[in-house]
Structure 1
Amino acid sequence: MKTTTVIKNHKMLPVARELRRKMTPQEKKLWYDFLRKYPVKFYKQRIIESFIVDFYCADARLVIELDGSQHYTEQGKAYDEERSQILNLYDLEVLRFTNLELDQQFDAVCEVIDREVKARM
């Protein structure tokens, strides 16, 4: 059953604020070079349930995750899959990109995001 109301665990707020201050180089690049001035509002390090997603667009119901090496372990993959399933219950689409993709194919990553936002609006 899908729901459209996103629940937020307010106890996570200090962690989210810290993550906003200490973004990875790839998160900074995507934020400052694309998402910050994108015509549809994006939020960085947004709390959804007990998760903190890298970027969130409420209007398009879109989550963007940038995956570093910790996401490629069996435990990391299982956690990401479970997390994506929970986010999907809120009718949220999750786009995942590797840090390497962002570093080497930045324009292509931005095009995918732009296409997905427009398709979901």
Structure 2
Amino acid sequence: MNPITDLCRRLRNNPTIAEKLLWKELRKRTAGGEKFLRQFPIFVPNVAGRKAFYIADFYCARLRLVIEVDGPIHLLRKDYDANRDLVMNELGFNILRFTNDEVENDANKVMEKIMFYLIA
């Protein structure tokens, strides 16, 4: 099987608590009736002309919306995340970021922010 597909499958099978909580809401299509996928690979061109990829925690293809749930590892990857967001924005993707703590401690507020984005 494709190594990228394998990686995405492993990530889907081992979600964080925050990812589980958010997926519980997004999978029901309560977010404006939109369909979301989780741990979805998004391919982007790189400088060498080859394709690179980023894995979106949650992705809505119709709106080109990526939702990221950032755990502690992201504190060490701020430059990487900022560059990733810049590249994806330039390619027409929109990114919403939430921390694990935001999702775990106030999932309703996170869903409100997502809904606000969807109806704006």
Is the shorter-chain TM-score for this pair beyond 0.5, marking a shared fold? yes
CA distance in 2, matches of 1:20, 1:83: 21
TM-score, length of structure 2 as denominator length: 0.84
5+ residue gaps, structure 1, are 1-9
Moved over 2 A (4+): none
* Mapped pair 1:55 → 2:58: yes
* Mapped pair 1:14 → 2:17: no
Q: What's 1:27 paired with? A: 19
User: Normalized per residue, which structure has more helix?
Assistant: 1
Q: Deviations over 1:33-79 (max 9, x none)?
A: x1001111000000002111100001121100000011112xx0001
Q: What's 1:65 paired with? A: 68
Report the AA paired with residue 12 of structure 2: R
Contact 1:62 1:117 in 2 (8 A): no
Contact 2:36 2:58 in 1 (8 A): yes
TM-score, length of structure 1 as denominator length: 0.84
Report % sequence identity: 41
Contact 1:40 1:57 in 2 (8 A): yes
Q: What's 1:101 paired with? A: 102
Report the AA paired with residue 114 of structure 1: M
CA distance in 2, matches of 1:37, 1:54: 16
Q: What's 1:37 paired with? A: 28
- Superposed CA RMSD in Å reads 1.2
Report the AA paired with residue 6 of structure 2: P
Q: What's 1:3 paired with? A: none
CA distance in 2, matches of 1:78, 1:98: 16
User: Normalized per residue, which structure has more strand?
Assistant: 2
2:92 partner SS: coil
Aligned length: 107
2:98 partner SS: strand
Report the AA paired with residue 37 of structure 2: Y
Q: What's 1:82 paired with? A: 83
2:63 partner SS: coil
